[in-house]
Structure 1
Amino acid sequence: MMYPKIPLAQTVVQLCKAKQIKHIIISPGSRNAPLTIGFTNDNFFKCYSIVDERCAAFFALGIAQQLQEPTAVVCTSGSALLNYYPAVSEAYYSKIPLIVISADRPEHLIGIGDGQTINQKHVFENHILFSANLKLDLKEESNVPVTGDLPIIKNLENKFERFLGLQKDIQSFNAEAINTAINLAMKKSGPIHINVPFDEPLYETTDKLLIIPEAINEPSEPSLIDYAVIMSCVDDWHTAKRKLILVGCNTPNSIEQKWLDKLSEDESVMVMTETTSNLHHSSFFPSIDQVIAPLDEEEKQQLQPDILLTFGGLIVSKKIKALLRSYKPKQHWHIDTEGANDTFFCLNKHIVATPNDFFETFLSKIAHGEKSSYKNNWTLIKQERLRKHQLYVDQIPFCDFKVFDILVKSLPNNSILQSGNSSAIRYLQLFNLNKTVEVYCNRGTSGIDGSTSTAIGCASVTSKQTVFITGDLSFFYDSNALWNNYIPKNFRIIVINNQGGGIFRILPGNKDSETFDNYFETTHNLNAKHLCRMYGLEYESVSNENDLKQKLTTFYSNGMAPKLLEVFTPRLVNDKILLDYFDFIK
C-alpha cells in the first residue's frame, strides 16, 4: 500500500479512517497532494473528484445530510478554500457534520507575496464549531539551535534528540487538535475546519505507515432530562386550552409514531407541520400558509396559543413567523439537545433533550386537561380551505401553481424529494405530499446557491430515486453541479423556468420598470437544453398542462442517463395567480 511520506498527511488520513469518515470529496490541486495520495490509496475511503469547490462542498453536504454521518471535503491552498464558505454556513445552521480539510502553505510563505496564499487560519470563524490549525512537520535538515562547545558528534546527537522531541510535540499537538475537531463535529452535528500546512516536496510516497495516531473517542453521554423542568411543563400544559406544536425541518423517521398518535388525541393541541418536517398524521395541519394567510384579526386572536411547543430545524413559513410575533404565545418551549432559537421573541424554556426522550417522559405524565375546542374549530377551517384549494386549482390556467399541483401528485412512492429554495419550497408548502416521500431542502441559510449539488450528493449515496425540483435562477446559478461523474441514472431534475426570479414579483414593489426586470427579477431567455447535452443528461421540455402530464408518465421510469424536464411557465401571470389564491380560499 502507498502512503504519503509526510507524517502530518498520514496523521490526518489515519484519524479520518479511525473516525469512520468514509466519503471524501477532493478538488484538484497541488498543495493538497499528500492528502489526495493518502485518501485515494486506501480502499476504506470512497473518494470523489469534483473540480468546483463550491459544488464539491454542497455535494458533500448532500451526502452527510442523507447518511447522517460526517463527510469530508479536501482542497488546495488559497482561494479554493473560500469557495467552501456557502456550504459551511449552510452546514452550521442546518447542523450537518461537514469536515473541511484544507492544505496550506508553511507559515513563513504567507503574507510575503507567494502564490496561492491567503490567511487560512480561522477563515470560517463565525460559522464553524472548531478550527484546528495544525503545525508543520519538522524536517531532519531543520536548523535546530544547539548551544555549548560540545564536540561535533555530541552536538549532532543532541541536535537529533532535540529534533525528535520537537517533532513528537508537534505530532501530539496535531493529533489532539484533529481528534477534538472531529469529535465536536460528531457530537454537535456541525462543520469543523482542519487547516494542514505542507512544505515541499509534496508528492513523495512510502510503503510504510510512519504514524499511527491514537483516535480519542468521547464517550457518549446519557440523555439527562431535567425532571423539574418537565413537571413545570406538565402543570402549565394541563391548564392551557390552546396548545400549538410547530415542527420545522426534521429528519425522516426520527420521531416515533406513537408520540404523534398520542398528541393527535388531545383536542387542545394543534400540530402544524412544514413540508420539510417529514411528519404525517391525518389530524395534523400541513400547508400552514393555506390555513393562516386568509385570517382576519379576530381569527388570528383565536389562533393565538397559550403554549407554543417547537422542535426541528428552521421554519420556512414567513406567515407563521409574522403571526406568532404579533400574537405571541404566553409561553414558547423549544426541544433541542444543543440550542434554541428565539424565533418569535418569546422563548422562555429550552428543553435540553431529543423530542423522543422529551415526549416519552412528558406524555406519560399528561392526563386529560380542560375541555377545549381549539383543534376541532381549526380542523373545520382546514377542511374548508382544502375544498376551496381544489376549486381554485381546477379553474386556473397553466402557471407555476398548476405545475406544482401536478408535480406533487406525480412523485413516485418511497422517493426522495430535494427542493430548491425561494419559490420552489414555498409552493411545495401549499400542497399535501405523499407521506412516503422524504423531503429535504437547504433551509439553514435558505440560499439558492448549492441546491443542485446537494441533491446530487444525496442521490449518489441512496438506493431511492431522488427528484430535484428547482427554479430556473437557482439551477443556472449552480449549473457546475452537473460537472461530475457521480449522478445516478435514476436522478431526475425538474426546472420550473419562468424566465427570471419570479418570487420577486410576489413581493411589494414596482414590477413594471426596467430596474425591476434587470436587478430584481433578472429576466432572461436561457434554457437547459445545451447544458444537458454537454453533461450527458436526457432533456425534455413542456409549456402546457397536457404535455406536462404526458411527459410525467414516463419521466421517472428507468433510463440510460439522468433526466431533466424543463417546464416553461408564463412569467407575467404567476404572481397574480398566487396572490389571488389566498383571497379565494378565505
Structure 2
Amino acid sequence: MSDPHRPDSAAQSRVDTGCTNLHWCAALLDGLMASGLRLLVLSPGSRSTPVVLAAQQRSDLDIVPILDERSAAFFALGAACASNRPVALLATSGSAPAHWYPAVIEASEAAVPLVLLSADRPPRLRNWGANQTIDQTRLFGAFVRENHDPGLPSPYPAALKSVRALGLRAGKISLAPHPGPVHINLAFEEPLVPTSNCFGTAESTASQAAISQLPTAQSATIPPAESNAAAFSAGDPASLALPAGPGLIICGPGSFDSVFASTLKCAARRHCLPVLADPLSGLRFGPESDDIITCYDALLRNPEKKVALRPTWVLRFGRAPVSKRLGEWLNGIPTILIDPGSGWSDPNHDVELRMHCDPNRVCANLAASPRVRGNADADWTIAWLNAERRMREQVDRYLTQADWFEGHIIRTLLARIPSEEALLCANSMPIRQLDTWSGQRIDHLSLFGNRGVSGIDGQLSTLAGINHAGPPCWALLGDLSLCHDLSGLLQSKRNKRPIIVINNGGGRIFDYLPQHGLPGFELLWRTAVDIDLGTLAASVGLHHARIETALAFDLVLDQALDQAAGTSNAAMMIEILLDGDRSRDLHQEFWESIASDLPGEGCR
C-alpha cells in the first residue's frame, strides 16, 4: 500500500535536488525569522550555496558577507549584543566553521544569541577521506545550547514543516531560558544550484503550503526563564526577604536598561543598600547614577576601608564583576544571585540563593516592600557614600597633578562621547583602566566588552558588528588587541566612530603581574609588536592620527565629533603613544597614596 504523503518513484526521480535544497533552506530561514532573526553573516563557500540562494529571496533579511570566518563570527557576536536579537552565521564545510570557535565560546559564556549554520557534505562521505569533509555534528561541544543535524533535505511537506519548526526552535532557544549559541549542521547533496526555476513550480507551492501550517512565532514562544526556575530558585521574586545586617548590591556585566536603573535606585534607597556597579553593567552612565559606587577597586587598596566596609551578605545582579580585587574581597560572603537565564555565575561558590527571574521584577518588589532596616543600616550606606566621595576627590586631585596617562584618556573620552552612543572597551588593561578611572556621567552611554572569557581577540570585528546593528560605537583598544584582529580592519569602514588605540609597547598587563622581571620577559610576555599603525590604517582607507599629548587628543576628538555631526560617520584610528614604564610608575604612585593617606572618617 503506497504512502499518500510520498511521491511515487517516478516523481521522485524528477525532483531537482537543487530545488529541494533551496525549498528546505527557505523553510529553515522562515522559521529562524519567525523567532526574530534579521541578520545573516556569511563567509563565501560552495557547499553553503543553498542557504545563500534562499536568503536572497528574503527582502527582510540583512545579509553581510565577510571573508574571514573568525572575523565574521565576532561581527555576529557584536551585532547580537547590540540588537538583543539572534544573529545567524553561515560557512561552508570543513575547517571553515572551526574558525568560529573563539566567538562561539565568548557567546556561550556571555549568553549572546547566535545561530550557527554549518554547511556540510552528505553523511555518506564522513570518515571516508572525502575532500573538505569532517565530522561537524558536534563541532562546538559544550559551548552550544543545542546541536542539530537534520540530515539531507527532503521535498516532503512534513519534512519542510519540520525544518521550519527547527529554525523557530533554534532562534528561540538561543534567546531563552539560557541565551547562547545553537548549532545546526546542514548537509547538502549536489547539485547545489537548481537546474530550473524553483519558484512557481508545483513543488514550491507544496512547500509553502507545508510550512504555512506551523504556528506563528507569537503562539510558539518558548516560556520565559522564570517558568523553568523551580529546580534552581527558592521562590517568586515577591517572596525574597533580605537578610539582616549590612549588605551590598553588586551589579556585574549585563544588559541593564534605564527601567532597571530607576527601580534599582528606589529599592536600594528604601533598604539602605549601597550599589557597586561594574563598568559593563552600564549603570555608571545615566541619570540614575548619582548614588552608584564606582571607586570600590581603589577603596579596597586601603586596609582600613577593606575591613570597615565589608558586608555580611550580597545581592548580585549580572555576571561576576571585572575587578579581581573586588571578587577576592567578597570571597566567603553569602550571596543572593538574580539571573534571568539559567547560568551559574558563582566563581567563589558563595551563592546560597539563586533566582532565575526578571531583575526588574525583583527591584520593583523590593522598592514596594516595607522597610525593615534601621538607623545602623542608614549609617552603613552613608559610610559607603562618604568613602566614595572622598575617593573621587582623591582621584580628581591626582589626575590634576600627574603626567598624562591612561587615567586622563579615560576621563576625557567618557566626557566627550555624545549621549546615547556606545563604547567598546577591549580586555586586558583597557577594561581595568576603565574600571579604575571612569567615574560617572549623567548622560547615558552604552558599554560593550567581551567579558565572557575575556579574550583580546576579535575586538575590531565585534566593533563593526555593534556599529552595524546598534548605536554609533567608539572603541578603546590596546595595541596587541588591534594586532590580534587585523582581518577585522577590513570591516573598519562600517564603523561610525573612532578607534582609539593606546600604543604602550605590548602586553603591559604583565608589568603588574608576577611574571614581570623574569628572564625573557620582553620577548615571551610583553611581546611588543613593531608595526606602523598609520600604514596599517591607510591600507584599508582609514584616516589615522598619532598623538602624544592631552591637547592633541582634545583636538582630534573635536575633529571626529565635527565629522560625525556632518556625515554621521567618523571612522578613524587615533593612536595614542604612551610610555608604558612611566604609566606603571604613576599607577603605583597612586595606589600607594590611597593605601596610606586616605582619611578614615565616616566608616562604621
Q: What TM-score comes out, normalization by structure 1 length?
A: 0.87
8 Å CA contact retained: 1:185, 1:191: yes
Q: What is the identity, as a one-letter code, of the residue corresponding to 1:571?
A: G
Q: CA 1:274–1:228 in structure 2 vs 1: closer, same or farther (change >3 Å)?
A: closer
Q: What is the identity, as a one-letter code, of the residue corresponding to 2:173?
A: L
1:471-502 per-residue CA deviation (whole Å, 9 max, x = no partner) reads 110111112112248604x3211111112011
Measured in 1, the distance between the counterparts of 2:560 and 2:593 equals: 33
The answer to whether residue 25 in structure 2 is matched with residue 9 in structure 1 is yes
2:427 — aligned with what?
421
Q: 1:529 aligns with which of 523, 527, 534?
A: 534
Q: What is the identity, as a one-letter code, of the residue corresponding to 1:582?
A: W
Measured in 2, the distance between the counterparts of 1:500 and 1:314 equals: 27
The answer to whether residue 58 in structure 2 is matched with residue 18 in structure 1 is no
Superposed, 1:139-154 pairs within 5 Å as none
1:584 — aligned with what?
593
Measured in 1, the distance between the counterparts of 2:125 and 2:536 equals: 41
Q: CA 1:370–1:437 in structure 2 vs 1: closer, same or farther (change >3 Å)?
A: same
Q: 2:553 aligns with which of 548, 551, 576?
A: 548
Superposed, 1:390-539 pairs within 5 Å as 390-430=396-436, 431-434=438-441, 435-462=443-470, 464-484=471-491, 487-488=494-495, 490-511=496-517, 513=519, 515-539=520-544
How far off is 1:18 after superposition?
A: 3.1
Superposed, 1:564-583 pairs within 5 Å as 564-583=573-592
Superposed, 1:368-383 pairs within 5 Å as 368-372=372-376, 373-383=379-389
1:41 — aligned with what?
57
The answer to whether residue 183 in structure 2 is matched with residue 181 in structure 1 is no
How far off is 1:229 after superposition?
A: 6.1
Q: What is the identity, as a one-letter code, of the residue corresponding to 1:410?
A: R
8 Å CA contact retained: 1:19, 1:215: no
8 Å CA contact retained: 1:59, 1:453: yes
How far off is 1:172 after superposition?
A: 5.7
How far off is 1:390 after superposition?
A: 1.4
Measured in 1, the distance between the counterparts of 2:65 and 2:158 equals: 34
1:211 — aligned with what?
207
1:88 — aligned with what?
104
1:312-366 per-residue CA deviation (whole Å, 9 max, x = no partner) reads 23421111101111xx224434343423322332111012211111122333223
Measured in 2, the distance between the counterparts of 1:28 and 1:84 equals: 14
8 Å CA contact retained: 1:537, 1:561: no
Measured in 2, the distance between the counterparts of 1:254 and 1:197 equals: 44
1:159 — aligned with what?
none
1:33-85 per-residue CA deviation (whole Å, 9 max, x = no partner) reads 11111112321211111001111111111111111111111110011101111
8 Å CA contact retained: 1:305, 1:330: no
Q: CA 1:31–1:230 in structure 2 vs 1: closer, same or farther (change >3 Å)?
A: closer
Measured in 1, the distance between the counterparts of 2:527 and 2:36 equals: 45
2:182 — aligned with what?
192
Q: How many residues align?
A: 547
Measured in 1, the distance between the counterparts of 2:276 and 2:555 equals: 34
Measured in 2, the distance between the counterparts of 1:561 and 1:285 equals: 33
Measured in 2, the distance between the counterparts of 1:261 and 1:362 equals: 11
Identify unmatched segments of 5+ residues in structure 1. 139-163
1:152 — aligned with what?
none
Measured in 2, the distance between the counterparts of 1:485 and 1:398 equals: 28
Measured in 2, the distance between the counterparts of 1:486 and 1:172 equals: 40
8 Å CA contact retained: 1:59, 1:455: yes
Three-state SS of the structure 2 residue aligned to 1:196 is strand
Q: What is the identity, as a one-letter code, of the residue corresponding to 1:468?
A: A
Q: CA 1:197–1:267 in structure 2 vs 1: closer, same or farther (change >3 Å)?
A: closer
Three-state SS of the structure 2 residue aligned to 1:566 is strand
Q: What is the identity, as a one-letter code, of the residue corresponding to 1:206?
A: C
Measured in 2, the distance between the counterparts of 1:299 and 1:291 equals: 6
How far off is 1:252 after superposition?
A: 4.6
The answer to whether residue 83 in structure 2 is matched with residue 54 in structure 1 is no
Q: CA 1:362–1:27 in structure 2 vs 1: closer, same or farther (change >3 Å)?
A: same
8 Å CA contact retained: 2:560, 2:570: no
Identify unmatched segments of 5+ residues in structure 2. 1-17, 596-604
Q: What is the identity, as a one-letter code, of the residue corresponding to 2:280?
A: T
Measured in 2, the distance between the counterparts of 1:437 and 1:485 equals: 21
Q: CA 1:74–1:432 in structure 2 vs 1: closer, same or farther (change >3 Å)?
A: same
Measured in 1, the distance between the counterparts of 2:19 and 2:578 equals: 54
2:10 — aligned with what?
none
Measured in 1, the distance between the counterparts of 2:253 and 2:578 equals: 29
Three-state SS of the structure 1 residue aligned to 2:343 is coil
Measured in 1, the distance between the counterparts of 2:237 and 2:387 equals: 33
Q: CA 1:335–1:95 in structure 2 vs 1: closer, same or farther (change >3 Å)?
A: closer
Measured in 2, the distance between the counterparts of 1:17 and 1:4 equals: 21
Three-state SS of the structure 1 residue aligned to 2:79 is helix
Measured in 2, the distance between the counterparts of 1:322 and 1:499 equals: 30
Q: Considering only aligned residues, what root-mean-square deviation do their CA atoms show, in Å?
A: 2.4
1:275 — aligned with what?
279
Q: CA 1:228–1:37 in structure 2 vs 1: closer, same or farther (change >3 Å)?
A: closer
8 Å CA contact retained: 2:464, 2:492: no
8 Å CA contact retained: 2:28, 2:165: no
2:313 — aligned with what?
307
Q: What is the identity, as a one-letter code, of the residue corresponding to 1:256?
A: F
1:364 — aligned with what?
368
8 Å CA contact retained: 1:334, 1:347: no
1:100 — aligned with what?
116
Identical counterparts, % of pairs = 24
Q: What is the identity, as a one-letter code, of the residue corresponding to 2:397?
A: L
2:265 — aligned with what?
261
8 Å CA contact retained: 1:336, 1:350: no
Measured in 1, the distance between the counterparts of 2:311 and 2:329 equals: 11
8 Å CA contact retained: 2:76, 2:89: yes
Q: CA 1:4–1:246 in structure 2 vs 1: closer, same or farther (change >3 Å)?
A: farther
Q: What TM-score comes out, normalization by structure 2 length?
A: 0.85
2:293 — aligned with what?
285
How far off is 1:257 after superposition?
A: 4.2
2:223 — aligned with what?
221
Measured in 2, the distance between the counterparts of 1:39 and 1:267 equals: 53
Moved more, 355-364 or 534-543: 355-364
8 Å CA contact retained: 1:422, 1:503: yes
8 Å CA contact retained: 2:30, 2:167: no
Measured in 1, the distance between the counterparts of 2:238 and 2:264 equals: 21
Measured in 1, the distance between the counterparts of 2:251 and 2:295 equals: 12
How far off is 1:270 after superposition?
A: 1.2
Q: CA 1:182–1:422 in structure 2 vs 1: closer, same or farther (change >3 Å)?
A: same
Q: What is the identity, as a one-letter code, of the residue corresponding to 1:184?
A: I
Moved more, 544-553 or 42-51: 544-553
1:483-525 per-residue CA deviation (whole Å, 9 max, x = no partner) reads 248604x321111111201111111223364x21111110122
Q: What is the identity, as a one-letter code, of the residue corresponding to 2:475?
A: F
Q: CA 1:46–1:333 in structure 2 vs 1: closer, same or farther (change >3 Å)?
A: closer
1:69 — aligned with what?
85
The answer to whether residue 265 in structure 2 is matched with residue 245 in structure 1 is no
1:145 — aligned with what?
none
How far off is 1:228 after superposition?
A: 5.3
